Amino acid sequence: MLHHFKVQLVIGTSVLWLALMPVEAVAEWYADAYGGGVFTDNTNLTVSSSLGTTTTFHDLSVNNTWTVGGRGGYWLDRLDWLGFGLDIFYYHVKAPSQSATVSTSTGGTTTSTFVDWNLPVVGIGFDVLRLRVPLLRSDEFVHGRLQPYISAGPALFISWAGQNRNVQPFGQHATDVNVGVKAGGGVSFLVTKTVGLFTEYRFTHFTSSLTYQNSTVPDTETFKASYDSHHIIAGLSLRF
């Protein structure tokens, strides 16, 4: 029930954002599709038990992975350096099995093996601020053929995991929706008036908190970690 409510909340928020966009001043719509690589910083993962104890795995390494996504929006008319957009993307957070330093709420520190962690993520970014520099203007390319740009805004991150091998029984599913941030910058080049290419660097940050039943203890355990990721993407842009 909670999972369905969270999904409905995300869909409703996205639809509301689109409905509130000030379309009366639209000059140039865009629709982008892209893919690329994701590089996530090491992170600490804290496991909180319903019995009142916490265990933290420090400095866990995260594998490099890939991302795909699409976004749409528009640039304003007279202020054609200002735009808005909605960005939806998918990637993984994958921490391999590894030896890690572990600290507990009781004050002890030891070294233990952390079993691999695979966390699929869907991000919905609200680009409340998109700025570009229209360069190489001409009669054909009114808003510039070369367009360096930056964007920033809040994002909803939907994360889930179904094969958490750090608890028993295996195969439990958990889903979390959290607000994070997305910011980046890149450059677009229009091959024609309606077709362009772009490349971009973006940074994302969010915190995931997933809860499971552990039949070994028994108790309820919540796995919480923050993820800072660097995305290098490239793609195709259509202008209308």
Distance CA 72, CA 238 (A): 9
Cis peptide before 148 (omega within 30 of 0): no
Predicted pLDDT of residue 96: 92
CA nearest neighbour of 132 among 203, 75, 196, 181: 75
Predicted pLDDT of residue 147: 98
The tens digit of pLDDT for each residue in 162-175 reads: 667 777 777 778 89
Predicted pLDDT of residue 3: 47
Per-residue pLDDT of the chain (240 residues; tens, 9 = 90+): 444 445 455 555 555 555 555 554 568 999 999 999 999 999 999 999 888 889 999 999 999 999 999 999 999 988 999 999 999 999 999 999 999 999 998 888 999 888 888 899 999 999 999 999 999 999 999 999 999 999 999 999 999 886 677 777 777 788 999 999 999 999 999 999 999 999 999 999 999 998 888 877 778 889 899 999 999 999 999 999
Predicted pLDDT of residue 2: 46
Q: DSSP 3-state assignment of 58?
A: strand
Predicted pLDDT of residue 52: 87
2-239 classified as CATH 3.40.50.410 = no
Q: DSSP 3-state assignment of 24?
A: helix
Distance CA 214, CA 99 (A): 22
CA nearest neighbour of 65 among 116, 118, 126: 118
Predicted pLDDT of residue 84: 94
The tens digit of pLDDT for each residue in 72-125 reads: 999 998 899 999 999 999 999 999 999 999 999 888 899 988 888 889 999 999
